Every structure is written in C-alpha cells, then in structure tokens.
C-alpha cells in the first residue's frame, strides 16, 4: 500500500478483486456500460467537460489507476497511471448511426460491448463515448468498478459540470492544478501523477473483503432451506440447456428501452406491491425465456448484487475512514457479487407472489456477511499471482 498524507494511492487487490481481474484477463468478461442523456451540450462546452473530468479524476483516483503486478508487495495491485491524455478516455461519435428516435440503439450497445480493456499495461480502465452532443456513455472494466459505478460516475460528473461552470479558472487551478482551458486538443494531458498527486483529494476505495466474514465460512449458515438448496416440488431435474457449452466468449443480448411513462408505471406497480424493480425484472426475464426452458425441469437464476452496504468507517483502516464517513461521497471500486441461486419451476404466468419471494431472498442476500463464500471454489483453485488463471467459477 502506498500512502502519503493519509491518502492511499495504490494498494494490493483483495481475493474478490482478483476474481474479477482474472475474469477480465481471461476474456470471460468485457465491460459494462451506462449511457446518460444530458440536457446541455457537452461537446459545445468542451472546456467545462474537461475541467469536470479532471476534478472527477482527482476526487475518485481509482479512475486514474490500472492493474499491475507490484513486486514490492508480491501481488497484483491498483497502481496510479503515470499520465492520462484526454484522448485516452474521451471519444466522439456521430449520433446519426447510434440513435433511433433520439434514443441510444442496440447497435451502439453492441459497439460498446466490443470494448476490451488490457490489464497490466499503462492504459486507463474506463472509456467515455460522447454520441452527438448530449449522450455520454461510460464504459468500465470490472476490477475498478461494479455495476453501480457507471451510474455513480454520471451523478458525480453532473455535479462537477455544474460546479466547474461557475468556477473561475484561477480558483480551479488553485484547487485542482493547471489545465489547458482554451484551444483544447485531444492530445492534451489531463492528469500527470507525479505533477498532480498533491491535488488528489481522496484515497482509493478499500476492498470489500475485510468488511465481511471469512471467505471459508458457509454462506448458508448450514440452513437446509437456504434458497439455492430448495428444489421446486414436482420438478426434481435441473434444465440441462439447449446445447453443449462452447467457450466462444460471444455475448447475446437484447436492448429494451422503456419509455418514461412505462418506467413510471412499472415503478408505481413495484411500489404498490412493496418490491424492488430488480426482483420484478428477474421474474419477467425468467417468464420470457420459459418457451426455451420447456415445462419439465427447474431452472437456476442469479441476480448480481453489490456488497457495498457492508462498508463502515468503524471497521476501516484509518486512510479510508474519510471517504466512508462522507454520505455524499460515492464509493467506486468493485464490491460486486454474482448473487445466490434462485430455483424456479416452469413459470406459466407472471406472479407478484413470485416477485415478492425473490425480493425477500434478495433483501436477505445483500445483508449476508458470508457472501464471499460463493467465491471460495475460485480461491481454492485459482492463483492470485497468475495473470489469467481461472477467470470463472
């Protein structure tokens, strides 16, 4: 761990973070992306966007790190990048091809999905694509961020855009260091670690592992009725799948855009039934695929979740207490979890009762202090010092 003035600049990866590192390195995971539509032109106000990006990098320095092997600690670690240019993180695309009726289309998401981040090199692990002037996509490698981080990024950037628009350049330089404000070019340096480390505001986020119970402890607490042990009555056999598994690393998906009114109606119904939208989507997804599954077997489903609610300043090492004590600060990094298995019988019709059951199980899952135990098979078989070994369970 590299600490200066109570700020952690680099640190070794935890077991769970190494799991996600290996998934990326072995090609079994690419990225995740969240696109937000801004109501003010970003390209038109490029100087404000660049200021906001620099401010964001200095406040959330994990964005300015890569993953490399650190010989001083004999482990893979988050280490700061020496230099970041604007064209390392920001890319521009026309909105003619990638928008349909003013909304990001499936072809664009497929295009983003082709983004693959190279670990162990001097390059950033996130990417921003500005489509037209208003649609900004944030793409992240999984070792530095879980599924919430892209949402958080847009929240932070929106706040920083507003602040930077009102901040005089001289005041900005006092707080965040010198930056090119006029005639900005993509080749311009937006961050240099040696020159700018004095302006870094916060530590890297801590790993989630120390805030949970030991990875070797049974996540089910010995409960024979834990959700993944209960087989639906009348369906003793698990669905075998349609084809033999072939590891092609291809991904198939369908983009579904809900209108604002549709989203409002879905959220209203979920609120009425006192369930989260995640539980609703899991059941709808299972129902949608029922014709593929057939009617003779039970199927297994997982809903990925985040474990960041287990962070607490009380259990944190001193350098991390500041960010964990600030309710306004967003905790980046990855505290992701694959979720616990749900076993479903053939689903013939939508059921709010099933949604409520899933919702109850999810609410218990996110509070499970032994959630890391799901990664034990990987920990036992994998190699924390190998660049690629065993990227999946």
CA-based nearest residue to 173, from 199, 195, 192, 200:
199
Q: How confident is the model over 204-224, as a mean pLDDT?
A: 97
In this prediction, residue 200 carries a pLDDT of 97
Instruction: Please check whether residues 46 and 91 belong to one and the same domain.
Output: yes
In this prediction, residue 268 carries a pLDDT of 98
In this prediction, residue 389 carries a pLDDT of 61
pLDDT in tens, 290-326: 999 999 999 999 999 999 999 999 999 999 999 999 9
In this prediction, residue 381 carries a pLDDT of 87
Instruction: Please check whether residues 295 and 158 belong to one and the same domain.
Output: no
Share of the chain above pLDDT 90, in %: 82
Inside any domain, residue 256: yes
- What is the phi/psi pair of residue 326, to 5°? -95, 110
Residues in CB range of 25: below 8 A, 6 or more apart: 119, 120, 387, 388, 391
Cα 216 from chain centroid (whole Å): 25
Inside any domain, residue 390: no
Q: What's the domain count of the chain?
A: 2
Instruction: Please check whether residues 217 and 345 belong to one and the same domain.
Output: yes
Q: What is the average pLDDT score of the chain?
A: 93
254 compared with 240, residue with greater pLDDT: 240
Query: Are the beta carbons of 19 and 337 closer than 8 angstroms?
Result: no
pLDDT in tens, 160-209: 999 999 999 999 999 999 987 778 899 999 999 999 999 999 999 999 99
pLDDT surpasses 80 at 2: no
Inside any domain, residue 249: yes
Instruction: Please check whether residues 243 and 356 belong to one and the same domain.
Output: yes
Instruction: Please check whether residues 188 and 304 belong to one and the same domain.
Output: no
pLDDT surpasses 60 at 113: yes
Q: How far apart, in Å, are the Cα atoms of 17 and each of 147, 311, 340?
A: 14, 15, 18
Instruction: Among 2-6, 135-139, 262-266, 339-343, name the one with the lowest average pLDDT.
Output: 2-6
Confidence bin at 137 (pLDDT 50/70/90): very high
Inside any domain, residue 326: yes
Q: How confident is the model over 76-93, as a mean pLDDT?
A: 97
Rounded CA-CA distance 363/347 in Å is 22
CA-based nearest residue to 104, from 146, 132, 126, 139:
132
Domain boundary at 155, 190, 207, which?
207
Domain boundary at 172, 207, 242, which?
207
What is the CA angle 280-284-286, rounded to 5?
A: 120
Residues in CB range of 137: below 8 A, 6 or more apart: 33, 34, 35, 104, 108, 112, 128, 129, 130, 131
Query: Are the beta carbons of 299 and 293 closer than 8 angstroms?
Result: yes
Q: What is the pTM of this model?
A: 0.93
Confidence bin at 386 (pLDDT 50/70/90): confident
In this prediction, residue 249 carries a pLDDT of 67
Instruction: Please check whether residues 260 and 186 belong to one and the same domain.
Output: no
Instruction: Please check whether residues 191 and 168 belong to one and the same domain.
Output: yes
Instruction: Please check whether residues 64 and 180 belong to one and the same domain.
Output: yes
Residues in CB range of 359: below 8 A, 6 or more apart: 274, 275, 276, 279
Confidence bin at 390 (pLDDT 50/70/90): low
- Structure-block tokens of residue 375: 């990664």
Inside any domain, residue 70: yes
Inside any domain, residue 387: no
pLDDT surpasses 90 at 39: yes
CA-based nearest residue to 331, from 317, 347, 313, 315:
313
Inside any domain, residue 171: yes
What is the CA angle 56-90-186, rounded to 5?
A: 105
In this prediction, residue 393 carries a pLDDT of 46
Instruction: Please check whether residues 160 and 306 belong to one and the same domain.
Output: no
Q: What range does the domain containing 145 cover?
A: 2-207
- Can you give the CATH number for the domain in which 65 is found? 3.30.559.10
CA-based nearest residue to 121, from 98, 141, 138:
141
Domain boundary at 176, 207, 238, which?
207
pLDDT in tens, 8-20: 999 999 999 999 9
Instruction: Please check whether residues 37 and 60 belong to one and the same domain.
Output: yes
Q: How confident is the model over 139-151, as a mean pLDDT?
A: 93
What is the CA angle 117-142-98, rounded to 5?
A: 65
Instruction: Please check whether residues 319 and 371 belong to one and the same domain.
Output: yes
- What is the phi/psi pair of residue 10, to 5°? -150, 155
**Number of CB atoms found within 10 A of residue 99's CB:** 18
In this prediction, residue 1 carries a pLDDT of 62
Instruction: Please check whether residues 90 and 186 belong to one and the same domain.
Output: yes
Inside any domain, residue 315: yes
């Amino acid at each position: 761990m590299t600490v200066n003035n109570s700020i952690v600049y680099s640190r070794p990866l935890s077991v769970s973070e190494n799991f996600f590192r290996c998934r990326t390195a072995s090609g079994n995971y690419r990225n995740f992306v969240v696109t937000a539509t801004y109501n003010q032109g970003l390209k038109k106000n490029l100087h404000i966007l660049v200021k906001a990006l620099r401010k964001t990098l200095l406040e959330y320095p994990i964005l300015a790190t890569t993953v490399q092997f650190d010989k001083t600690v004999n482990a893979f670690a988050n280490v700061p990048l020496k230099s970041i240019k604007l064209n390392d993180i920001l890319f521009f695309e026309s909105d003619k091809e990638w928008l349909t009726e003013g909304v990001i289309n499936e072809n664009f998401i497929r295009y983003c999905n082709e983004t693959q981040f190279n670990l162990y090199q001097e390059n950033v692990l996130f990417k921003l694509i500005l489509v037209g002037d208003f649609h900004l996509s944030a793409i992240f490698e999984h070792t530095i961020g879980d599924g919430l981080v892209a949402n958080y990024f847009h929240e932070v950037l929106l706040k920083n855009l507003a602040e930077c628009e009102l901040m005089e350049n001289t005041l900005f330089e006092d707080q965040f260091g010198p930056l090119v404000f006029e005639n900005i070019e993509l080749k311009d340096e937006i961050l240099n670690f040696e020159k700018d480390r004095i302006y870094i505001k916060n530590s890297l986020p801590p790993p989630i592992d120390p805030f949970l119970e030991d990875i070797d402890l049974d996540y089910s607490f010995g409960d024979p009725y834990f959700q993944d042990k209960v087989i639906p009555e009348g369906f003793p056999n698990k669905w075998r799948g349609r084809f033999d598994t072939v590891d092609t690393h291809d991904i198939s998906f369908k983009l579904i855009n809900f209108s604002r009114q549709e989203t409002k109606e879905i959220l209203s119904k979920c609120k009425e039934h006192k369930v989260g939208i995640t539980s609703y989507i899991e059941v709808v997804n299972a129902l949608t695929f029922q014709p593929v599954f057939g009617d003779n077997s039970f199927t297994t489903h997982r809903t990925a979740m985040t474990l960041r609610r287990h962070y607490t300043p009380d259990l944190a090492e001193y350098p991390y207490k500041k960010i964990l004590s600030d309710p306004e600060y967003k905790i980046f990094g990855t505290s992701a979890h694959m979720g616990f298995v749900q076993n479903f019988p053939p689903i013939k019709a939508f059921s709010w009762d099933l949604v409520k059951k899933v919702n109850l199980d999810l609410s218990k899952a996110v509070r499970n202090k032994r959630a890391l135990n799901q990664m034990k098979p990987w920990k036992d078989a994998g190699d924390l010092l190998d660049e690629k070994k065993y990227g999946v369970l």
